Amino acid sequence: MAKEIQPIIEKLVQSFPGQVEAGETAGQVMVAASALLPVMEKAKGELGFNMLADLTAVDYPENFEMVYHLMAIPDATMLKVKVKLDKGSPRVASLVGLWPAADVQERETYDLMGIFFEGHPNLKRILCPEDFQGHPLRKDYILKTRS
Amino acid sequence: MEKAMEREVFRADSPRTETITMNMGPQHPSTHGVYRAVLTMDGEEITHIENHVGYLHRGIEKLAETRTFTQFMPYTDRLDYLGAMLNNLGYAQTMEKLMGVEVPERAEYIRIIMAELQRIASHLIFVASYAIDLSSTTGWMYCMRDRERILDLFDMVCGSRLTTNYMRIGGVAEDVPPGFLPELQRLINDLPACFDEYDGLISGNEILQKRSIGVAPMSAETAIAYGVTGPNLRASGVAFDLRKAAPYGIYDRFDFEIPTCANGDTYDRYYIRILEMRQSVRILQQAVDSFPEGPVMAKVPKVIRPPKGDVYHQIEGTKGILGFYVVSDGTSKPYRLHIHSPSFVNLGVFPEIARGGNIQDAVATLASIDIVLGEVDR
């Protein structure tokens, strides 16, 4: 069964003062973009979140937000990590070095949401064709209806 | 002529070969859909694989933002189109988690029955297509025969065999019709003998064993690092199943085991499915035995406006962990809906484990990963 998440979050907040804070709802932390790699390294190594369960991005009016879900195997403890990114040029460190699982998922997020992952070895479009213009999941990408 | 003789490749004292690139797909029977792998070959050996996906990309995540929460349900059928019931379940439970809806007891049992039937049906397709990829047409026929009975049961409850659209936020669309349970019981009685038959026909087949034992082994570390989940992870010896580790719905009431295999090779990835189907039959029997009476739908408003916030929910799908991330801004349509598809992530490990083998092995390896392109591309 899953471990208590709140002590783990407190530990993270204490280890990275000013860069990590507990999120609004239980089980999540907000991390400054500059501290993402060391925080994830600690979460993976010391705190035992050995699997990157999911990563995605959301386009909010004031910023982009990366949402990572980490999972510990075998007890299925979940940790949600959110990173706010600049609306003009959203950039964040790539996690491929920590989890190869991030490879395809970051490519998908780059393709559909236009987040630039620094240090990704092969940051190309994955679902859309290579010559596709724009990033379809952004809110300013309007779906055209057939009339 | 003289010039050609001078070329390095023709010299007897230099056995060096050039690598060539080869396309496998997008229209290739072993890719199970429209998927293309670009193989770099050094003679018979694969030195590099590049995945090309997206041929089936329909933009379901973007479409979701233009549909209401209720309207999105049929779209989930078209993700992993061999596991529609499980996709329905994943989405319905995600929304129930966001809204705090209690599902009636009878609906929970119906959901378990449908989920496990769907798991068996999907694994049957896997076993069938794995057999046919390794040239055993007979194996395909037997699995299709038995899967047909499951699809008939789906037809009984919702009038559809593949795109079921049966579950609703708060329950299921309709109660099971009379005659469903006896038919299900007959199926449960017959299935174990069918699995024995596959064991004799496919698992014990010498050609199949020669082509898959020891091929493309995946260690537990590799599997976890690449985010591989589901039967593929358990084939590598990790006893991790969300139905046990973080039970959703009423899975904590059932007695079943998580089968694992030791080597994580192509054969283990095949055989784990047979073992899992046997466990699913156990769950089905328990669900039928304690099937309660009552309503099948909770009181849910006609227009669903969940509270503001985000939620991530994951279930044990047929291919691995299926996750839904939903952001609600308080309106009747999702602000953002993201689908974590197990096939997409599992496919990411294919280049890693197939490297060093030959093309025949790559076909077996790809088949053993069990991808559905509708879910890979979304």
ipTM of the complex: 0.90
Residuewise pLDDT in 10s, chain A (147 residues): 667 888 888 888 888 887 778 777 778 888 888 888 888 988 888 888 989 999 999 999 989 999 999 999 888 888 899 999 988 889 999 999 889 999 999 999 999 999 999 988 988 888 888 888 889 888 888 877 666
- Contact residues, chain B, for A67 at CB < 8 Å: 310, 312, 325
CATH architecture group of domain A5-89: 2-Layer Sandwich (3.30)
Give the mutation candidate from A60, A70, A71, A110 for the B interface (greatest B CB count, under 10 A).
Answer: A71
Residue B222 lies in a domain: yes
Q: Which ranges constitute the DSSP H helices of B199-241?
A: 206-212, 220-225, 231-235
Domain count for chain B = 1
What integer pLDDT is reported at residue B8 of this predicted model? 52
Nearest to B129 by CA among B219, B55, B32: B32
What integer pLDDT is reported at residue A1 of this predicted model? 60
- Contact residues, chain B, for A50 at CB < 8 Å: 224
Helices B105-133 and B359-369, interaxial angle, to 10°? 170
Helix (H, G, I), strand (E, B) or coil at B311: strand
Residuewise pLDDT in 10s, chain B (378 residues): 455 555 555 555 666 678 888 888 777 766 677 888 888 888 888 888 988 888 888 889 988 988 899 999 999 998 888 889 999 999 999 999 988 888 999 999 999 999 999 999 999 999 988 888 887 788 888 889 899 999 999 999 988 888 899 999 988 988 899 989 999 999 999 999 999 988 888 888 888 888 888 888 899 999 999 999 999 999 999 999 999 888 888 998 999 999 998 888 999 999 999 999 999 999 999 999 999 988 988 888 888 888 888 999 999 988 999 999 999 998 989 999 999 999 999 988 999 898 888 888 888 888 888 888 888 888
What integer pLDDT is reported at residue B1 of this predicted model? 47
- Contact residues, chain A, for B61 at CB < 8 Å: 112, 137
Looking at CA atoms only, how far is residue B126 from chain A in angstroms?
23
Nearest to B93 by CA among B213, B238, B249, B301: B249
Q: Which of B59, B246, B336 sits opposite A58 (nearest CB)?
A: B336
Residues A43 and A95: their CA atoms lie apart, in Å, by 12
CATH of the domain at B178: 1.10.645.10
Helix (H, G, I), strand (E, B) or coil at B127: helix
Interchain pair B245, A74: CB under 8 A? yes
Helix (H, G, I), strand (E, B) or coil at B301: coil
What integer pLDDT is reported at residue A5 of this predicted model? 81
How far is residue A110 from each of residues A55, A66, A104, A127, B334, measured CA to CA in Å?
11, 11, 10, 10, 21
What integer pLDDT is reported at residue B3 of this predicted model? 53
What integer pLDDT is reported at residue B357 of this predicted model? 85
Residue B169 lies in a domain: yes
Residues B223 and B227: their CA atoms lie apart, in Å, by 6
Residues A68 and A66: their CA atoms lie apart, in Å, by 7
Q: Which two tokens stand for residue B257?
A: 């085991």
In contact, B268 and B259? CB cutoff 8 Å: no
In contact, A90 and A115? CB cutoff 8 Å: yes
Residue B357 lies in a domain: yes
| Residue A26 contacts B, CB cutoff 8 Å | no
Report B:7-66 residues touching A (Cβ under 8 A): 51, 53-54, 57, 59, 61-63, 66
Consecutive H or E run containing A38: helix A36-45
- If you count residue pairs, one on A and one on B, with CB atoms under 8 Å apart, how many are there? 97
By residue range, what is the domain housing residue B236? 57-377
Q: Which of B53, B62, B336 sits opposite A143 (nearest CB)?
A: B62
Q: Which two tokens stand for residue B300?
A: 């849910």
- A54 pairs with which residues across the strands? A69
Which phi and psi (to 5°) does residue B314 adopt? -130, 145
Residue B140 lies in a domain: yes
Residue B168 lies in a domain: yes
B102 CA to centre of own chain: 27
